[in-house]
Amino acid sequence: MTPSDYAAWVQAVGSIAGIAVAIWVPWRIHKSEQQAVQRAKDAYTNLLRDAFRNLRNTIEYLNNVAPETSWKDQQPQDVARELSSALVKMQDLSIVLSEIQDVKRLENFDAVLAILEFRRALDSAKPAMEKEALWLGDHGKSPHVVTNALATLKYHAEDLLYGIDKVLAAFDPEK
């Protein structure tokens, strides 16, 4: 082989290597971007799943804060105080709502539908819960007010728990 043949071979190998690098670098960048997007989606889904699990615990607490059969052994103002603290816990709903404004980021269509249905239930329950919180604050010594608050909160808590269970089932369909 002559020196010009060696030069031609080096140029050919270099050209092939250049083409391979020109193909591999954009492919690798694209793959990294896809992985980053998937990690962000997974993190968002996990955030929502955890938020709904925590919210479920809060609503269960509210639902069980003063069982109707045993609250009569307590002073109405004590029950009112417990219910008021449970209603304060319901402020977590506002945080969750701010996190679920962008449900379009979810790829799970069943989860999107369940979240939207839950938000409707929450929007329906919120005014009643706020009204009961005000009544408990103003008239918490009245057994009648406490009884009405319990009934209202339990009614809405059951609807909200049902909605949360649907959301969690959509997030974890295998369970």
Domains, the chain, in order of start with CATH, read 45-171 (1.20.120)
Q: Please tell me the pTM assigned to this model.
A: 0.67
Residue 73 gets which letter from DSSP? G
CA 153 to chain CA centroid, nearest Å: 22
The residue-averaged pLDDT of 112-122 equals: 85
Task: Give residue 17's identity as a one-letter amino acid code.
Answer: A
Q: In the predicted model, what is the mean pLDDT of residues 126-151?
A: 77
Element (H, E) at 120: helix 109-139
| Contact between residue 164 and residue 118 where contact means Cβ atoms under 8 Å apart | yes
C-alpha span between 135 and 131 (Å, rounded)? 6
Q: What is the pLDDT of residues 31-87, one digit of tens each?
A: 999 999 889 888 888 888 888 888 888 788 777 765 554 556 667 777 777 777 767
